[in-house]
Amino acid sequence: MAMIIAGVAAVVIAGVVFLLWQQNQTAEKERIAREAQAKVQAEAAAKLEAQRREELEKAQAEAARLKAQAEQQATLAAEREKLIQTEKEKAEAAQRALASAPGVISITSDPVGAEVSVDGTTPQATPATITNVKPGLRKVTVSLQGYSTFEQLVEVKGAQTVDLGSINLQRVYGSFMLRSEPADAEYAVFAADKADGPALRTGRTPGSVDNLLPGDYVVKFTRPGLLPTTEYASITGKDVVDVNSTFILGGVSLTSNPAGAAVRMNGEYLGVTPIVRPELQPGSANFEFTLPNHEPQRLAGEITNKDTLRLHAEMLHVDRIAKAAEVKSAPKILQTSRPVIPANLGVIKGEVVISVVVTRQGTIRDIRVEKSDNPALTEPCLKAVSQWKFGPAISKSGQPVNMRISVPFRIDVKPQEISPDDSNMPIHMRN
């Protein structure tokens, strides 16, 4: 029994041991399976993490690339916008410069040789190309003696040429109304510079002569039994001029241009021109012609009882620009001012000729640059001349008159060495 029990116990023990072994084998297998599964899962997770990291790195790289691209595009856009703005500013500046650039006016006339000026500037002879015309509305004037003056407003645009083509100037004519005392005298009209040549027109008084060009004329009257008479007249435009002559033996016939001058003979008032005085005492006579705003004229002659003393006075306007032949003394320099040459110009040389009108009051006006071969010297010389003081020119009749003179500056020195001789500064009178 004990053996049986021992055998049964041994079997049970063996079964239990087997069962435990089998359980251990199963648990080991499960452990191994779990470890394998865990390993597979870990490897899968690692692979997934690697993939995630790789995709993250790719995404970050793509984001960095896109950011760099965006920044580059923004930089390019900014540079392009800046370039566009710069080009726009350049274009606007160019347009402004173009709009303010001087223009050109081209013009000719029929006939040619007329004087054309823009806004009263120094005239040029046609055909003319006038440069440096300031943009805007400009007044063009074309004039020629014997023709109507042409005027036109012209719009000048920057850096453009306005071609006015050929301007047909219209002739102007005047007329003479010719009378004599007594009437029925023969007259002959001559150009003043051809008084000894063929007559332009002839006829009998009273009469008229039409279609006369502007200019100075001599009219000679003759009548049987009387001494010939000569009258002087001028045509200035579309006007009718009375030319009267009186045949008188003895006495005086006094005329002036313009008419209306007051005349004194030997201090006695005779009247205003034209004057005919048939009953005067023979002898030497001095005549003084005066007219407001004109220089007085003094003429002398011999009055006889056989002939009429005929005197004609050309009255010179006090505001005219006198010619060199009309003056007794040129303007005198009373005070000068030296040109101030900027120090940054260094050694400099050149010649600048400035002309001014010295008025009869001693002031200066109408300053012009006649010559400048070094533009850097022009402005200093202009400023210097504008501060000069002058005494006026004196006409041969002793009256102060306006006169244009030229003042040359010859400069070949260093700055601050400009030193014109104040006492012997050369000036040139202008005709």
What's the number of CA atoms in the CB half-sphere (13 Å) around residue 241?
27
What local confidence, expressed as pLDDT, does residue 367 receive? 92
What local confidence, expressed as pLDDT, does residue 423 receive? 35
- Secondary structure of the chain: what % helix, strand, coil (to 5)? 30, 45, 30
What local confidence, expressed as pLDDT, does residue 431 receive? 45
275 and 253 in contact (C-beta within 8 Å)?
Answer: yes
Please, is 318 exposed, middle or buried when counting C-beta atoms within 10 Å of its C-beta (0-12, 13-18, 19+)? middle
What local confidence, expressed as pLDDT, does residue 417 receive? 46
Low-confidence ranges of the chain (pLDDT < 70): 1-12, 16-17, 94, 97-99, 225-226, 248-250, 279, 281, 305, 413-431
- Other beta carbons within 10 Å of 266: 13
The contacts of residue 215 (CB under 8 Å, 6+ apart) are: 145, 146, 191, 192, 234, 235
Q: How far is CA 106 from the centre of its chain?
A: 15
**Nearest one of 238, 82, 98, 70 to 156, comparing CA atoms:** 98
What local confidence, expressed as pLDDT, does residue 397 receive? 83
What local confidence, expressed as pLDDT, does residue 428 receive? 52
Give residue-wise pLDDT tens across range 187-210: 999 999 998 999 999 999 999 999
The contacts of residue 386 (CB under 8 Å, 6+ apart) are: 364, 367
What local confidence, expressed as pLDDT, does residue 158 receive? 79
What local confidence, expressed as pLDDT, does residue 422 receive? 42
Q: What is the pTM of this model?
A: 0.37
Helices (H), 257-397: 375-385
Domains of the chain from N-terminus onward: 103-168 (2.60.40.1120), 177-246 (2.60.40.1120), 248-317 (2.60.40.1120), 321-429 (3.30.2420.10)
Structure tokens belonging to residue 241: 């001029």
Cis peptide before 206 (omega within 30 of 0): yes
96 and 158 in contact (C-beta within 8 Å)?
Answer: no
Q: Give the position of tokens 């010649």.
A: 351
Q: List beta partners, residue 272.
A: 262
